[in-house]
Structure 1
Amino acid sequence: MYYLRLAVLWILGLLPVSVVLAQVPVVTLSEAFDEPQDGWDKLLQLRNGNTVYLHFSKRAGLRSTVYNLQRKQVATDSIVTAIWNPADLESTEIDGIYEIGGQPVIFLQQIIRDIPVLIRLVLDSQTGRLLREDKLGELPSIQHRSVVVQDNLATHDCFVEKDARSDYYAVAFFSGAEIQRNDSIRDRIQVLHFSPEHKLVNKGRYYLADTSYSYFSYVHMSVQDHEKVYITTVGFNDKKKTGVPASKVLFSMLSPDSASFTHRGLDYTAGYSGVSGYMQAVPMKSEVRLLLFAPSEKTDGNNGIMMNTLMTSSGKLRKHHPLYFPELSKNVQWNLKYKDDYKGAPQRLLLNVDGSCTLLLETLTRFKQGNTQINKYHTNMGDIGIALLDTAGREDMTMAVSKLQSITGVCEAFSLHRRAKSEWAFRNKIAALNTNTYLSYDYVATPDANFVLFNDYLQYLDGGGQEKTRKPLKYAADANFVCYRFYGGKMERLFIFGQPEVKKGFYCMMGAAAYDESTRVYATIMLSRTEKEKVARIAWIKF
């Protein structure tokens, strides 16, 4: 295992660049527009070559702008909806934005008179106009007593996941209210399986026939074409049951010929709490890979990260093992001057067709500051760890990069997965606090090199592992966008938009970004600042 020393490279001049250097990203910029203010922004690169820019705001509602393959603006439209009320943006969350059937599809959840309602918006890929708006379902009122037992919370929420290899998708409705005498346990959790044409393929109920567990905490859902929907939960009870563990992770499947899920308990997880995870099918091997993160199980020899392999035919657990990162720990000790092992939380799993994978990690440190209830909790998002794992979960290569950022709120594990699928909640009323879209990082892998992208203070980029001596990035306008390139045993720093200066800089909306693996183009919203002005542009970065 080799460890990567730092070199520095500046890409100077105005972009786009006409001369392509080996493995150097090439940037194309749109025409400038005003810096987005309130709300949230997202880009979507479509298979037809167009890029759709979506801006959500309380003032303007939802506005779509379409750019063609030549990166020219060709259409713009203000979306007028009948079900979703953009004026009540603070009660809205986005559960996913995907290209489905060649069109941008937005899944919105809005609380309407205390009722969570899930709405689907389908836009035209050429004009950005609204083609259809559908109410997919709703949950019971949020005015109920939450059921929490040993850090396991009964989920009361809606979820959307699309198949990574097709346009089939599923929608789950989890009712987590306290069970009443007249409630039907069979109807509390329902899942809808849709085709790329938005036709209902199957509808399944999620419950345990033996009623061993009455409440469920959602972990993750995955779709395999038209064949299966998989769900992982933690089952638990509000009262002890003889012979039943207090809690257990459950792996469940919905098949086309069934109206209810079949379940397999992972016995080794008895008593687990606060579990998060990610799963995806590996059709080549007829397996599902399930990555679990259980912070409550951390010990000196266990980081709480477990990889599970299950059979798609039966759901049976084939094998499971904790993931260890000895080479990543050596990397941070060598390059970032750590004294201890690397202890980052899993943020995203990139699974290859053969079952090998890349695991993106990030150190997360939570703390309290301030007296107000809304802005009391904070999270420091620290150094980056990346591990390329073989099919057995062993490290083939590791990367470590120093950074330190701070957000208002609690950052959970797998936040990079949720950001990649465009999950977002419009909670903060103070615009200055909505910095989350600028923070954390992105990772791009190409056949020739790997790239790590993020915003940070320039003066702290060479350190690492020393939160007490570093100033965390809190305000995006003070940052600069940095790209690290890993190739040929080297690690190089690139300033893609040109050399930053004291009175000039560039930073990007990481949460707005979209990467097209087929074209190796990373699209994001770049903001440039000088003494006189600050403007925004869409940047298409060709890796």
Structure 2
Amino acid sequence: MKYLKCLFLLAILSAVFSAATGQVPVVSLSADFNVPDDGWDKLLQLRNGNTCYLNFSRKSGLIVTMYNSKHELTAVDTTAARLWKADDLESSELDGIFEINGQPVIFIQQLVKNLPVLYRLVLDPVSGKLQQEDKLGELPSVQHRSVLVDDNLASHDFFVEKDPRSDHYAIAAFTGTPIQKNDSLRTRITVTHYGPQHAVLNKGLFYLADTAYNYFSYINMAVSGDRIYLSTVGFNTKKETGNNVSRVLFSVLSPDSATFSHQLLNTGREPGNVSGAVQYLPALDQVRLLLHIPGQQTDGNSGSEIFQFSASTGKLRKHANLVFPELDRNAQTNLGYQQPFKGTPQRWRTNEDGSSVLLLENLSFFKQGNSQVNKFHTNFGDLGIAMLDSSGRENNTVAISKYQVVTGICEPFQLQRRVKSEWVFRNKIAALNTNTYMSYDFVQIPNASFVLFNDYLQYLETGGAERTRKPLKYPVDANFVCYRFYNGKMDRLFLFGTPETTKGYACLMGAADYDASSKVYATILISRKGLERKANIAWIQF
């Protein structure tokens, strides 16, 4: 009996200890490897338990490294593509990297004699070797005059979105060149629907039968198995005879149709520079569209609104403006704000019950230097997170101070795009390609939440006495921090060790991949000790 009693007490103590420490992330590291060359990096945690590491390098092309479920290195392969030119990364643009049918699939554009050409690369999920390569389409030359009216730019690009539930995906091809006399308005925009085996299921034409609008700016797209939902801004130049007031459109391609059905949305003032996200909620038979219109952002208006549609009919059910009074109070109390928190939406994650999480970030822009290429810069300022109920009202909020700077202009919803690895090679100077280190990420598990980002830790230099906060500009100054929100408290964790003046730990935020089912966040860790630097894959178990 004493033995059983002892076991019982040990079980209780073990449970208490687990409850107290279970919210502390546990880190596993791969074997060391060299710090990646300038380019782009992406991790995929595959359903077979393997982790696929894609390194797009200016020097070496595409290198694929595979790790098994025990985090052991199993294969390394340099992709020998026939169509896509791996040695011309500077003219390439990533449109998405997904797991489709259990395989890593890369959608990548490349300029070929000034024509944007889209390729699809399918990799083996065990060896990482290239299994299939296809040319999916091309657009007219980029050497044309851009069509820009009232901050609305006619899209001239490919866009790829995947259904996370069924592995169906869609590719939208937008032609945004000025309309010529003999051009067909019906074929300037096409959307192709693919199944998990990469077979074409449908191809839809996107146009308005009454030609009310002739130019369109892409906002976002969602795929729900057999249907495609697309949001755009329609507008005209002074040459067209249609409507002279731009409008947001919500459009649906049904499986039995070769053309989209459309409805015009009422967004108040004439919309310009619109961004947004489309999300499909099958349990509620809903599609939701979150729009952000900067021109409508005032002290009493966040500039963001949500539209709810029937997934089966595409008809509008409900529309509401988003307001964040709790986030405003949080920023005033914890960050010393005197005005409302005017963050820009960076990512919107919806849950099956209609609740959602909106990641916001204060963005500001400035010019510095005389270079035409590198004179524009973006400040990534304080972050705000709003956890919303199914009606769009705040349940909880997070506000944290941070300060980062990158070269180039950052547009809204860049985290939404970064998750699927949309990326454009911009700077030939490696030191300026710091975007993958910047901004932040957010992980939620039962009873705890975590905010992750690289920070410039001033106290390493000044003991915290610096009055004016310095921005994080360069990777060498970056240190990865994890803010944990647990039991009503916030604390800061250093998951890889406490940074010091001579050593630090930074993560490639752009390379990260979070598996919600296993609660594992995979990223690339860059460690420095003195002048020595090394890299590891880091699997963080939340």
- Classify the TM-score, shorter chain: over 0.9
- Could you tell me how far apart the structure 2 residues matched to 1:160 and 1:192 are? 10
Instruction: State the distance in 1 between where 2:294 and 2:344 align.
Output: 9
Give 1:312 shift. 1.9
AA aligned opposite 1:195: G
Whose radius of gyration is greater, 1 or 2?
2
Letter in 1 for 2:311: T
CA contact (8 A) 2:364 2:378 kept: yes
- More deviation in 298-307 or 44-53? 298-307
CA distances 1:146-196 after superposition (whole Å, capped 9, x unpaired): 111111111000000001222010001000001111111111000110001
Q: What is aligned with 1:4?
A: none
Aligned pairs (5 A) from 1:178-193: 178-193=178-193
Counterpart of 1:446?
445
Kindly state the Cα deviation for residue 286 of structure 1 after the two structures are TM-superposed.
Answer: 1.4
Judging changes above 3 Å, is the alpha-carbon distance between structure 1 residues 257 and 525 closer, same or farther for their aligned structure 2 residues?
same
Contact 2:237 2:244 in 1 (8 A): no
Aligned partner of 2:414 in structure 1 is: 415
Look up the match of 1:518: 517
Answer whether contact 2:236 2:244 (CA < 8 A) is retained: no
For 1:342-381, what aligned pairs fall within 5 Å after superposition? 342-381=341-380
Equivalent residue number for residue 113 of structure 2: 113
Match of 2:8 in 1: none
Give 1:239 deviation, angstroms: 1.9
Q: Deviations over 1:334-390 (max 9, x none)?
A: 111111111100000010001110000000011111110100100000111001000
Q: How far apart, CA to CA, are the structure 1 residues paired with 2:108 and 2:177?
A: 21
Mapped partners of 2:308, 2:81: distance in 1: 43
In 2, Cα distance between equivalents of 1:57 and 1:373: 25
User: Residue 425 of structure 2 aligns to which amino acid in structure 1?
Assistant: F
Of 528-537 and 383-392, the range deviating more from structure 2: 528-537
Q: Is the 8 A contact 2:109 2:119 kept in 1?
A: yes
Q: 5 Å matches for 1:239-388?
A: 239=238, 244-269=243-268, 271-388=270-387
Native 8 Å contact 2:119 2:135 kept in 1: yes
Question: Structure 1 residues 406, 188: closer, same or farther in 2, change over 3 A?
Answer: same
Matched, 1:232 2:214: no
For the aligned residue pairs, the C-alpha RMSD in angstroms reads 1.7
Read off the aligned partner of 2:178 and give its amino acid letter: E
Gaps of at least 5 residues in structure 1 are 1-17, 462-466
Q: Is the 8 A contact 1:205 1:260 kept in 2?
A: yes
Q: CA deviation at 1:242?
A: 7.3
Point out the more displaced range, 300-309 or 96-105.
300-309
1:88-107 Cα offsets, whole Å, 9 max, x none, are: 11110000000000000000
Secondary structure in 1 matching 2:88:
helix
What's 1:12 paired with? none
Q: CA deviation at 1:241?
A: 6.7
Alpha-carbon distance in 1 for matches of 2:417, 2:152:
20
Inter-partner Cα distance in structure 1 for 2:296 and 2:399: 25
Equivalent in the alignment of 1:146:
146
Q: Tell whether the 8 Å contact from 1:34 to 1:535 is kept in structure 2 after alignment.
A: yes
> Matches of 1:259 and 1:438 in 2, distance apart?
43
Partner-residue secondary structure (3-state), 1:268 = coil
Relative to structure 2, which stretch is displaced further, 53-62 or 268-277?
268-277
TM-score by length of 2: 0.94
Amino acid in the other structure paired with 2:502: K
Give the equivalent residue in structure 2 for 1:5.
none
Within 2, Cα distance between the matches of 1:442 and 1:454? 7
How many matched pairs? 520
Query: TM-score w.r.t. structure 1 length?
Result: 0.94
Which residue identity lines up with residue 514 of structure 2 in the other structure? Y
Q: Deviations over 1:477-503 (max 9, x none)?
A: 111100000111111100000111111
- Which structure has more RCO (C-alpha within 8 Å, separation ≥ 6)? 1
Any stretches of 5+ residues in structure 2 without a counterpart?
A: 1-17, 461-465
The question of whether the paired residues in 1 share the 8 Å contact of 2:458 and 2:470 is answered with no
Please say if residues 279 and 287 of structure 2, whose CA atoms lie closer than 8 Å, have aligned partners that are also in contact: yes
Distance 1:299 1:531 in 2: 47
Q: AA paired with 2:45?
A: Q
Match of 1:137?
A: 137
Structure 1: how far apart are the matches of 2:359 and 2:482?
16
1:28 aligned partner: 28
Single out whichever of 406-415 and 31-40 deviates more from structure 2.
31-40
* Corresponding residue for residue 103 of structure 2: 103
Q: Counterpart of 1:73?
A: 73
Cα drift, residue 243 of structure 1: 8.0
- CA–CA distance in 2 between the matches of 1:388 and 1:305? 15
